Amino acid sequence: MSQPKVVLITGASRGIGKAIAIKFAEHGYQTVITGRNVDLLKETASKIESVGKLPAKVIAAELRDTHDISRLIGGTLQQFGKIDVLINNAGVLHIKPFLEITSDELTEMIDTNFMAVFQLTQRIVPEMLKQKSGTIVNIASLAGKYGFQGGSGYAATKFALRGFAQSLMLELRPHDIRVLSVFPGSVNTDMLDDNPIATNAKTALAPEDVAHAVFAVVSADSRATISELDIRPSNPKKG
């Protein structure tokens, strides 16, 4: 009997990350979920156990801390011996006029939205090279393609993530490792409340919409890399 594939999802305590974890569990994946809030992670794990065949492994971690990154990867490999899919979902958002954003807010976004992704991926790629396979999914944002008012800091981190993913995809293709980026528009999560110019909650995407798309691109035949996928609300003016 073949071993189930192992998927590691960051930012899985709520919103998009939680929905992605549940979707993969429904399809028989062994899920490893991480985030900073252990109580919310346990809620995600409970939901996974109600829909999936395999219990989730919960590893609370602060991804801006390299020691926590090491502990997260070590705990996953010790129990399961591999990481087939990495989903970089964790992110933070501060929307303010350019002259009002603070150094601490900018640093938090850079460290969470880009540096943590870079460092976590850099630690996992050697394992995928040993396996001669793997899939890396970055949950970006349409803000990583199109700037918006008040988003000078946030959009900069998402543009950086896109450049990172495009370059890494070219580097890892010869090793049968896929790098995919998903660019959602407005999604009805906690972040929507922090975005004064976002689509209203009635017409925004649901986290499950993004989860469905992520699973679809990961499930494509290994010969196919859907390197970028945009997801928008169908009719943002409806309602």
Q: Give the integer Cα–Cα distance in Å for 56 and 142.
A: 30
Catalytic residue of the set 24, 29, 114, 154: 154
Residue 187's pLDDT is 86
What phi and psi values does residue 114 have, to the nearest 5 degrees?
Answer: -125, -60
pLDDT < 50: residue spans in the chain: 192, 239
The residue behind tokens 């960051």 is 10
Does 37 reside within a domain?
A: yes
Residue 20's pLDDT is 98
Residue 200's pLDDT is 62
Does 239 reside within a domain?
A: no
Q: Give the integer Cα–Cα distance in Å for 88 and 75.
A: 17
Strand partners, 135: 85, 178
Residue 236's pLDDT is 65
Does 182 reside within a domain?
A: yes
Domains: count for the chain:
1
Cβ atoms within 10 Å of 130's Cβ, excluding its own:
10
| CATH code, 173 | 3.40.50.720
Strand partners, 9: 33, 87
Q: Give the integer Cα–Cα distance in Å for 183 and 142.
A: 5
The residue type at 64 = R
Does 238 reside within a domain?
A: no
**H or E element, residue 87:** strand 85-88
Does 193 reside within a domain?
A: yes
Residue 195's pLDDT is 53
Q: What is the pTM of this model?
A: 0.92
Q: Give the integer Cα–Cα distance in Å for 78 and 3.
A: 15
**Domain extent at residue 69:** 6-231
Q: Give the integer Cα–Cα distance in Å for 79 and 129.
A: 19
> Would you state the structure tokens that stand for residue 90, as one six-digit string?
């964790």
pLDDT tens track for 161-199: 999 999 999 999 999 999 999 999 988 765 545 555 555
Does 1 reside within a domain?
A: no
29 part of the active site = no
Give per-residue burial for 212-234: e unless 16+ CB within 10 Å, then b.
ebbbebbeeeeeebeebbebebe
